[in-house]
Amino acid sequence: MRSPKPLPPSLADPFLAADALQFGLTVGRLRASDLWIPSRGIRVPRAADGDGPADGPGDLTARARPYLQLLPDAVLSHTTAALLHGIPLPPSYRNEPVLHLARPRERQAARRRNVRGHRLALRPGDVICPVPGIRVTSPARTWFDLAGMLPLPALVAAGDWLVSAHGRSFGYPREPVVTLNALRAFVEQLRGVPGIRTARVAVDLLRTGVDSPQESYLRLMLQKAGLPEFRPSHPLLDETGRPVVWADLGCPQFRTCVEYDGAHHLTREQQVRDHNRDLLVRELGWHQVKISSGDMQRGSAWVAAKVARGLKLGGWIPAE
């Protein structure tokens, strides 16, 4: 069987069939086996082995561009927008086969294959263009729209990532994508919008200084269990008041800190650093509790009981 004629270099990414016709391609060429049709009027070059699009899950910007060209009043929203902004999502949302597209409330929601359509009342500032031709809801609006999709812990983890800021004595300072005050003000300005109640609950649970979603989930577990408050990225001070160690979560009242040990803690180099750090924590007079992914999988009761033992060493007496 004769191989299809090579495509022009400008059509290496997902493209509009109408644009291809302008380049002189025929209707028959647009039906060739090396092109995948995700939705009417759109073509995607297949991989060299013919199995799926050339970019697999692919570059989200390139994948979304033709849909936005076909729907000039649409914007990328919800989890699609979150992925573009880098907002952490639960695993089930990281490789969604659909694009989330929002149109004005007075228009009909987009109805296309591989698209989940929404109708939103977007205000000035709710839409940005980080890349020419790519319209996407702003980080604050995106987080708000996630309130209608994500469970509360995942929504808080996403919000913690947006507002995270710290200037620790190591590494680079971290600036927030959206400040906590700005995100709180954004939510307060909305009225009668679906998801507003969940967003109001979640925004009050956000904290700055969080480094990972697992730290957010862990903090919420401890809070729900009724344990004393733990502060993210809490400094442990020496006798001069100088921060020596920064704990993932710290409860200064009972000098107890909690560390989440992710996969990177399994390397030999990191284990050596952790050992030296553990000795320093003890010298500073703090009680350290380490929580692993295995602990998290065993559930909140297990995690809370493990942390409670550390708190009791610091003088905490559970209420009966």
Q: Is the domain of 237 the same as that of 185?
A: no
What CATH number does the domain containing 271 carry? 3.40.960
List the one residue out of 9, 15, 2 whose CA is nearest residue 53.
Answer: 15
Q: Is the domain of 193 the same as that of 289?
A: no
Q: Rounded distance, CA 34 to CA 4, Å?
A: 7
4-27: b (≥16 Cβ within 10 Å) or e:
eeebeeebebbbbbeebeeeebee
- The conformation of residue 10, written as its DSSP 8-state character, comes to G
Per-residue pLDDT reduced to its tens digit, 275-307: 788 999 999 999 999 999 999 999 999 999 999
Q: Is the domain of 190 the same as that of 227?
A: no
Number of domains in the chain: 3
Number of residues assigned to the chain: 320
Residue that terminates a domain, selected from 18, 41, 56: 56
Q: Is the domain of 142 the same as that of 263?
A: no
Extract the tokens encoding 88: 């952490």
Residues 188, 234: contact at Cβ < 8 Å? Answer: no
Q: Which pTM does this prediction carry?
A: 0.88
Residues 150, 144: contact at Cβ < 8 Å? Answer: no
Q: Which domain holds residue 47?
A: 1-56
Per-residue pLDDT reduced to its tens digit, 139-198: 999 999 999 999 999 999 999 999 999 876 555 678 999 999 999 999 999 988 888 999
Does an H or E element contain 116, and which?
Answer: strand 115-120
Q: Is the domain of 120 the same as that of 203?
A: yes
What is the band of 57 on the pLDDT scale with cuts at 50, 70, 90?
very low
Q: Is the domain of 154 the same as that of 191?
A: yes
